[in-house]
Structure 1
Amino acid sequence: MNAEYIRNKITQLRLQKNVSEHRMSLDLGHARSYIHGIVSGRTLPSMQEFLAICDYFEITPEQFFYENNDSVNPTLLSGLIHEANKLSEEDLGLILVLVKKIISGYPGSK
């Protein structure tokens, strides 16, 4: 994992959220070119700014660096986890069974 990963991940998340670099920069309280500077490789965000970027996308830093499946929208995954935390252990078990059934039904699944 390197600076290129961070730049690419911010771009991926920004596109999933359907927001421009300009709008995201302003939303984060910076000049309109702030995000462009990051994704072009001129700079990297500070730790405080990185955490603000994660908050902006409604994900945890762990989810930002989760690279097993970049096709999964981390904001959706975060929402699912948030809602799942409200369920009983029994209901979580039922959901797990359902998810496994869905996955096993897809062609090419393990």
Structure 2
Amino acid sequence: MTEKDFSLRLAQLREEKGVSARDMSLSMGQNPGYINNIESGKSMPSLSGIFYICEYLDITPKDFFDVETSNPTKATELYNIAKKLDSEQLDHLIALAKGLQK
């Protein structure tokens, strides 16, 4: 993932959460322009900053870097529900998901 990809991914996930860059920055205890500077490519977070960003977004770092999953929060929610289903229920869920992909 390039720095530009990181910035775009952060903006995407932040927007899906429905929060402004300023509010996210302040909620994380950072200066008001912290997230905006990352999204604009002016700076990059430290490793601990990435963990704080993920914690704020309620996702794992794996979810953040998995760009094939457009909405990791909902994907995780679905996965957690699916873990509790029996085999027949999972078959129905898979069939429904395949139908939605078309």
Same fold (TM over 0.5): yes
- Matched residue SS, 2:97: helix
Looking at structure 2, the residues matched to 34 and 26 of structure 1 have their Cα atoms a distance apart, in angstroms, of: 8
Separation of aligned partners in 2, 1:43 and 1:14: 17
> What's the TM-score, normalizing by structure 2?
0.84
Secondary structure in structure 2 of the residue aligned to 1:32: coil
1:86 aligns with 2:84: yes
Flag structure 2 segments of 5+ consecutive residues without an equivalent: none
Query: Deviations along 1:35-70, whole A, 9 cap, x unmatched?
Result: 11211222111111111211211222122122235x
Q: Corresponding residue for 2:68?
A: 68
- What RMSD, in angstroms, separates the aligned Cα atoms of the two structures? 1.8
In the alignment, what sits opposite 1:23?
23
Q: State yes or no: 1:9 paired with 2:9.
A: yes
Amino acid at match of 1:54: C
Q: TM-score, normalised by structure 1?
A: 0.79
Q: How many percent identity over aligned positions? A: 36
Structure 1 residues 89 and 36: alpha-carbon distance in aligned structure 2, compared to 1, 3 A threshold: same
Bigger RCO (CA 8 Å, 6+ sep): 2
Q: Which runs of 4+ in 1 moved over 4 A?
A: none
More helix by share: 2
